Structure 1
Amino acid sequence: MDLPGPLNSSVLLVLHRPLNGSPVPLTVLDSCAEMPAALLFYLVLQFINMFLGVPANLMVLWLILRNRRDSSSSNIFMVQLAVLDAGFCLIPPLELVNIVYWSSSHMWFVLRFFYGVKDASPLFLSCICLDRYAAVLHPVTFSALQDRHHRSVCAAVVWVITLLYAAAKCAGNIPNFEKVFTVMILVVFAFMLFCNGSILWALRRSAPGRDHRHPVKKKAFRTVLLILVITVFNYFPPVALFPFQEYFPPLVFHCCVHYIAFGFMDISSSIQPALYLWREPRAPPCWRRRSRAEEPLNTVSRSVDLH
């Protein structure tokens, strides 16, 4: 698509998660007027996040904090992820104003911070995957590390990395900073695939001398498989598309590819807590799977539930 030079420079400044904080005369919708479908798709997903993700994440926090004595070892990471996602799910009204009505450098500054925090959220998912990987494949080591001190330290380190990344994104003046996200999401996605794939392989194997797996293992296998499918659904689009940014026309990438990829990634703020509540027998009936309402709590099957 051929555009005049001045419009090209303006477009690149007002696009989603821009790297430059300078005020611009156009809104994102104006700059993407010829291909608005991806923008509308993104905004719809973001408002789903707000109306579903906020109550879901708050419910996850309430359940975990209320039942701290009877919780899985990775709940400390789930709490951090729920806090992060609940905060991110509050920004759609600001996004709507900034994208459709009025593009302001001050609003972009705030939005870039939240975008940076969300960009780093897969780091907490990686911690959960690592915790479950150790529980299933290295149970002796996992049992020796049952105290949660090291998990608290790990969560604190991830928060420091997340806030530093978000602050750098807010600065908006670091050359090629978007490549940091591309590398991070590729590494984290590969790590999560490895952990979940290894867990599935371990759970799929039958015990020696038995023809069938234990029912608890079957449930755990289905849970991890579902988690793996959702992980691929949420994170595969940016993994598959962002490394090839230079092969797309700039306007097509920023007005279409960019929003579609981040739309799939950002909706994880609703899907992940909803999955946790669906598998949690203590969740309210409107959230949990009804067939488990009368089942006794089983800490073994819950040990593979991920947020």
Structure 2
Amino acid sequence: MATWRTNATVWDNATVKAFSVFDGCDSQVEGILFDLTLQCINVAVGIPANILVIAVLVRNRKDPATSDIYLGSLAFMDAYFGSMTPISFLNLYHWQSKEVWSALKFSYGVKDTSGPLFLSCICLDRFVAVLFPLAFGRLNNIKYRVGLSVLVFGLTFAYSAAKVVGGLPDFEKVFTGEILATFTWMVMCNASILWALKKSSSVGKDEMHPMKRKAFKIVLSILCIIVVNYLPPVALFPFEDYYSPDVFRCYVQPVGFAFLNISSTIQPLVYLSRLEKVPFLPDTCVRKWCSCVAEVKVKTKPAQNTSNQKKT
């Protein structure tokens, strides 16, 4: 499906030939099929996971974390992007509507921009909280985060609208520059946070402060997302001139965008994995999924109790 992003003008200029997801890559479909497979995972797993994340954030609205507004916005955008995949299939093989295709291009613009920018906002929030706690206390008002979220939404919709219009020279390089800039920022930001947390926890303390431990887990989860989802396009797209046009369009771009697209599933799952208890799910279901973790906890607790009894 990544070929849709770069071949948007094909639909607009076509008069006789109907648009096809394999257009120009009919004999080189492996990369496109890889992207299609991951987008199907977004529909089956990513949409329910993102809805669950939104439900958890709404449930915890009385005691929210400072980055919850970014997480909620990101989950909403990812759920919206996943919901467009069935529409994409219907439009390709049944409707073949130019208006629907414009809406699909808009959804790809939303995915290209909202994920990197909202993750960068979460990194900024954690960066200030860990390295500049006094400034973080002064900027703890939600209005600052609402304002930053509005800015991100504005940039996202502007980029998506430009993608729908099409015809802009070197427009795809805007995404390459954006992904390089946000990737560099997130890596530097998270590296600084990890260094600061490691330094503070090694000064005569056996355990890390609960707030710092929470920040540490958030940073590690974001690093996981960065490496898995954003490193492939960062490593591949800047070298477009070194590939032949067919190879870049049919293999490099679909694979790079596929890793970016599957973040709609990985991001909510990583967030849910950090929760001590996942609400709205039966305990029996959670135990079945996490039986190994439950067994470890059951075994370690009696061991800790017996050791404490010996000490007393």
TM-score relative to the length of structure 1: 0.83
Distance 1:219 1:166, change over 3 A: closer
Distance 1:208 1:90, change over 3 A: closer
Structure 2 segments unaligned to the other structure (5+ residues): 298-312
Q: CA RMSD in A?
A: 2.7
Report the CA distance between 1:206 and its aligned residue.
4.3
Report the CA distance between 1:233 and its aligned residue.
1.0
Structure 1 segments unaligned to the other structure (5+ residues): 1-13, 295-307
Question: Is 1:69 paired with 2:62?
Answer: yes
Q: Could you tell me how far apart the structure 2 residues matched to 1:98 and 1:263 are? A: 20
Q: Deviations over 1:6-38 (max 9, x none)?
A: xxxxxxxx9321342515315132531221111
Q: Which amino acid aligns with 2:223?
A: L
The aligned counterpart of 1:243 is 238
8 Å CA contact 2:3, 2:254 repeated in 1: no
From 259, 264, 268, the equivalent of 1:264 is: 259
SS in structure 2 at match of 1:90: helix
The aligned counterpart of 2:50 is 57
8 Å CA contact 2:123, 2:219 repeated in 1: no
Question: Is 1:159 paired with 2:153?
Answer: yes
The aligned counterpart of 1:177 is 171
Q: Could you tell me how far apart the structure 1 residues matched to 2:243 and 2:90 are? A: 28
> For the pair shown, which has the larger CA radius of gyration, 1 or 2?
2
Q: Could you tell me how far apart the structure 2 residues matched to 1:99 and 1:260 are? A: 20
How do 1:29-68 residues align onto structure 2 when only pairs under 5 Å count? Answer: 29-68=22-61
The alignment-based identity, stated in percent, is 44
Q: Could you tell me how far apart the structure 2 residues matched to 1:270 and 1:230 are? A: 10
The aligned counterpart of 2:135 is 141
Q: Deviations over 1:137-175 (max 9, x none)?
A: 111111111110111011011101110110001001111
Distance 1:45 1:168, change over 3 A: same
Report the CA distance between 1:92 and its aligned residue.
1.6
- Higher helix content, 1 or 2: 2
The aligned counterpart of 1:194 is 188
8 Å CA contact 2:29, 2:250 repeated in 1: yes
SS in structure 1 at match of 2:12: coil
Report the CA distance between 1:226 and its aligned residue.
3.8
Matched pairs, number = 282
Q: Could you tell me how far apart the structure 2 residues matched to 1:30 and 1:167 are? A: 23
How do 1:118-133 residues align onto structure 2 when only pairs under 5 Å count? Answer: 118-121=111-114, 122-133=116-127
Report the CA distance between 1:213 and its aligned residue.
4.4
Distance 1:99 1:255, change over 3 A: farther
SS in structure 2 at match of 1:15: helix
Q: Could you tell me how far apart the structure 1 residues matched to 2:130 and 2:257 are? A: 32
Report the CA distance between 1:42 and its aligned residue.
0.5
Q: Which amino acid aligns with 1:149?
A: K
Once the two structures are overlaid, the 10-residue window that deviates more, 20-29 or 98-107, is: 98-107
TM-score relative to the length of structure 2: 0.82
